[in-house]
Copies of this chain bind each other. A is one copy, B any other.
Protein backbone atom coordinates (compact mmCIF):
# COMPACT_ATOMS: atom_id res chain seq x y z
CA UNK A 1 0.00 0.00 0.00
CA UNK A 2 2.02 2.92 -1.27
CA UNK A 3 1.83 6.63 -0.65
CA UNK A 4 -0.31 6.05 2.39
CA UNK A 5 -1.21 8.97 4.63
CA UNK A 6 -0.48 8.28 8.26
CA UNK A 7 -3.25 8.41 10.84
CA UNK A 8 -1.47 11.25 12.57
CA UNK A 9 -1.35 13.29 9.39
CA UNK A 10 -5.02 12.61 8.85
CA UNK A 11 -5.80 13.83 12.33
CA UNK A 12 -3.77 17.01 11.89
CA UNK A 13 -5.23 17.77 8.46
CA UNK A 14 -8.75 17.14 9.65
CA UNK A 15 -8.27 19.62 12.46
CA UNK A 16 -6.81 22.17 10.04
CA UNK A 17 -9.81 21.66 7.79
CA UNK A 18 -12.27 22.16 10.63
CA UNK A 19 -10.32 25.19 11.85
CA UNK A 20 -10.47 26.83 8.44
CA UNK A 21 -14.13 25.95 7.91
CA UNK A 22 -15.19 27.17 11.34
CA UNK A 23 -13.43 30.49 10.94
CA UNK A 24 -14.76 31.13 7.44
CA UNK A 25 -18.31 30.01 8.21
CA UNK A 26 -18.53 32.05 11.40
CA UNK A 27 -17.13 35.21 9.85
CA UNK A 28 -19.02 35.14 6.57
CA UNK A 29 -21.96 32.85 7.01
CA UNK A 30 -22.08 29.29 5.72
CA UNK A 31 -23.78 29.73 2.37
CA UNK A 32 -21.55 32.68 1.53
CA UNK A 33 -18.42 30.52 1.73
CA UNK A 34 -17.63 28.20 -1.16
CA UNK A 35 -15.84 24.93 -0.82
CA UNK A 36 -13.00 26.42 -2.85
CA UNK A 37 -12.41 29.01 -0.16
CA UNK A 38 -12.33 26.24 2.41
CA UNK A 39 -9.79 24.43 0.24
CA UNK A 40 -7.58 27.50 -0.06
CA UNK A 41 -7.75 28.30 3.66
CA UNK A 42 -7.18 24.75 4.83
CA UNK A 43 -4.33 23.98 2.44
CA UNK A 44 -5.92 20.66 1.50
CA UNK A 45 -7.11 19.61 -1.92
CA UNK A 46 -10.80 19.31 -2.68
CA UNK A 47 -10.29 15.61 -3.18
CA UNK A 48 -8.98 15.18 0.34
CA UNK A 49 -11.69 17.38 1.81
CA UNK A 50 -14.32 15.17 0.20
CA UNK A 51 -12.56 12.14 1.55
CA UNK A 52 -13.03 13.49 5.07
CA UNK A 53 -16.62 14.60 4.49
CA UNK A 54 -19.05 13.37 1.87
CA UNK A 55 -20.65 16.76 1.43
CA UNK A 56 -20.48 20.34 2.66
CA UNK A 57 -23.39 19.62 4.97
CA UNK A 58 -21.34 16.98 6.78
CA UNK A 59 -18.48 19.41 7.17
CA UNK A 60 -20.85 21.96 8.66
CA UNK A 61 -22.27 19.47 11.11
CA UNK A 62 -18.80 18.26 12.15
CA UNK A 63 -17.69 21.86 12.61
CA UNK A 64 -20.69 22.60 14.82
CA UNK A 65 -20.12 19.44 16.85
CA UNK A 66 -16.49 20.30 17.53
CA UNK A 67 -17.34 23.90 18.34
CA UNK A 68 -20.00 22.69 20.75
CA UNK A 69 -17.47 20.64 22.66
CA UNK A 70 -15.02 23.53 22.85
CA UNK A 71 -17.66 26.15 23.64
CA UNK A 72 -19.41 24.27 26.42
CA UNK A 73 -16.11 22.94 27.72
CA UNK A 74 -14.75 26.45 28.04
CA UNK A 75 -17.93 27.58 29.80
CA UNK A 76 -17.85 24.65 32.22
CA UNK A 77 -14.18 25.27 33.00
CA UNK A 78 -14.96 28.88 33.80
CA UNK A 79 -17.87 28.01 36.06
CA UNK A 80 -15.84 25.33 37.82
CA UNK A 81 -13.36 27.91 39.01
CA UNK A 82 -16.11 29.29 41.25
CA UNK A 83 -17.24 27.56 44.44
CA UNK A 84 -20.38 29.29 45.69
CA UNK A 85 -23.52 27.95 43.95
CA UNK A 86 -25.07 31.37 43.45
CA UNK A 87 -21.83 32.82 42.12
CA UNK A 88 -21.41 29.85 39.80
CA UNK A 89 -24.67 30.68 38.04
CA UNK A 90 -23.69 34.34 37.81
CA UNK A 91 -20.28 33.41 36.41
CA UNK A 92 -22.01 32.07 33.29
CA UNK A 93 -22.79 35.67 32.40
CA UNK A 94 -19.26 36.82 33.13
CA UNK A 95 -18.10 34.21 30.67
CA UNK A 96 -20.66 35.43 28.15
CA UNK A 97 -19.41 39.00 28.65
CA UNK A 98 -15.88 37.92 27.79
CA UNK A 99 -17.14 36.07 24.73
CA UNK A 100 -19.18 39.05 23.50
CA UNK A 101 -16.13 41.30 23.82
CA UNK A 102 -13.93 39.09 21.68
CA UNK A 103 -12.88 40.69 18.40
CA UNK A 104 -14.91 39.28 15.53
CA UNK A 105 -17.79 38.22 17.77
CA UNK A 106 -20.77 37.77 15.49
CA UNK A 107 -23.39 36.12 17.65
CA UNK A 108 -24.18 32.47 18.22
CA UNK A 109 -22.88 30.15 15.52
CA UNK A 110 -25.80 27.79 16.09
CA UNK A 111 -28.49 30.46 15.94
CA UNK A 112 -26.87 31.79 12.78
CA UNK A 113 -26.68 28.33 11.27
CA UNK A 114 -30.32 27.79 12.17
CA UNK A 115 -31.30 30.97 10.38
CA UNK A 116 -29.37 29.89 7.31
CA UNK A 117 -30.00 26.18 7.09
CA UNK A 118 -32.61 25.30 9.68
CA UNK A 119 -35.28 25.09 7.02
CA UNK A 120 -33.29 23.15 4.45
CA UNK A 121 -30.96 20.85 6.35
CA UNK A 122 -32.34 18.32 8.78
CA UNK A 123 -28.85 17.44 9.99
CA UNK A 124 -27.93 21.03 10.81
CA UNK A 125 -31.26 21.59 12.54
CA UNK A 126 -30.68 18.52 14.70
CA UNK A 127 -27.19 19.69 15.61
CA UNK A 128 -28.45 23.15 16.58
CA UNK A 129 -31.17 21.65 18.75
CA UNK A 130 -28.69 19.28 20.37
CA UNK A 131 -26.38 22.14 21.25
CA UNK A 132 -29.14 24.27 22.72
CA UNK A 133 -30.50 21.41 24.75
CA UNK A 134 -27.02 20.59 26.08
CA UNK A 135 -26.48 24.23 27.02
CA UNK A 136 -29.82 24.30 28.80
CA UNK A 137 -28.89 21.17 30.73
CA UNK A 138 -25.60 22.70 31.80
CA UNK A 139 -27.45 25.70 33.18
CA UNK A 140 -29.99 23.45 34.82
CA UNK A 141 -27.22 21.53 36.57
CA UNK A 142 -25.77 24.71 38.02
CA UNK A 143 -29.10 26.32 38.92
CA UNK A 144 -30.44 23.20 40.64
CA UNK A 145 -27.77 23.46 43.31
CA UNK A 146 -29.13 26.84 44.39
CA UNK A 147 -32.43 25.14 45.17
CA UNK A 148 -34.35 27.78 43.24
CA UNK A 149 -36.61 26.82 40.27
CA UNK A 150 -35.19 29.41 37.90
CA UNK A 151 -33.53 27.30 35.20
CA UNK A 152 -35.87 28.51 32.46
CA UNK A 153 -35.58 32.26 33.05
CA UNK A 154 -31.81 31.97 33.46
CA UNK A 155 -31.58 30.07 30.20
CA UNK A 156 -33.88 32.49 28.38
CA UNK A 157 -31.90 35.46 29.67
CA UNK A 158 -28.71 33.86 28.43
CA UNK A 159 -30.22 33.24 24.99
CA UNK A 160 -31.64 36.74 24.87
CA UNK A 161 -28.26 38.21 25.77
CA UNK A 162 -26.46 36.13 23.14
CA UNK A 163 -28.80 37.03 20.32
CA UNK A 164 -29.01 40.68 21.29
CA UNK A 165 -25.25 41.08 21.63
CA UNK A 166 -24.81 39.31 18.31
CA UNK A 167 -27.12 41.65 16.45
CA UNK A 168 -26.21 44.90 18.17
CA UNK A 169 -22.51 44.21 18.54
CA UNK A 170 -22.73 45.57 22.07
CA UNK A 171 -21.62 43.30 24.96
CA UNK A 172 -23.85 45.13 27.48
CA UNK A 173 -26.64 42.48 27.45
CA UNK A 174 -24.34 40.13 29.38
CA UNK A 175 -24.30 42.45 32.37
CA UNK A 176 -28.01 43.25 32.07
CA UNK A 177 -28.84 39.56 32.06
CA UNK A 178 -26.47 38.96 34.95
CA UNK A 179 -28.19 41.63 37.02
CA UNK A 180 -31.58 40.10 36.27
CA UNK A 181 -30.35 36.65 37.27
CA UNK A 182 -28.93 38.09 40.48
CA UNK A 183 -32.39 39.43 41.25
CA UNK A 184 -33.99 36.07 40.49
CA UNK A 185 -31.52 34.34 42.80
CA UNK A 186 -32.32 36.77 45.60
CA UNK A 187 -29.97 38.74 47.82
CA UNK A 188 -26.76 36.92 48.66
Q: Interface residues, chain A, CB within 8 Å of chain B? A: 27-29, 31-32, 106-107, 110-120, 128-129, 132, 150, 152-153, 155-161, 163-164, 166-168, 173, 176-177, 179-180, 183-184
Contacts and interface: CB of A to CB of B under 8 A. Distances in A.
A155 B168 CA distance: 14
A101 B115 CA distance: 19
A119 to B, nearest CB: 5
A116 B115 contact: yes
A57 to B, nearest CB: 13
> Chain A: interface secondary structure?
helix
Given A173-B156, A184-B183, A129 B29 contact: no
Contact of A152 (B129, B150, B176): B176
B31 A114 contact: no
A24 to B, nearest CB: 11
Contacts of A180: 150, 152-153, 156-157, 184
Contacts of A120: 28-29, 32
Contacts of A161: 156, 160
A110 B168 CA distance: 12
A31 B31 contact: yes
A114 B115 contact: yes
A144 B39 CA distance: 53
Contacts of A152: 173, 176, 179-180
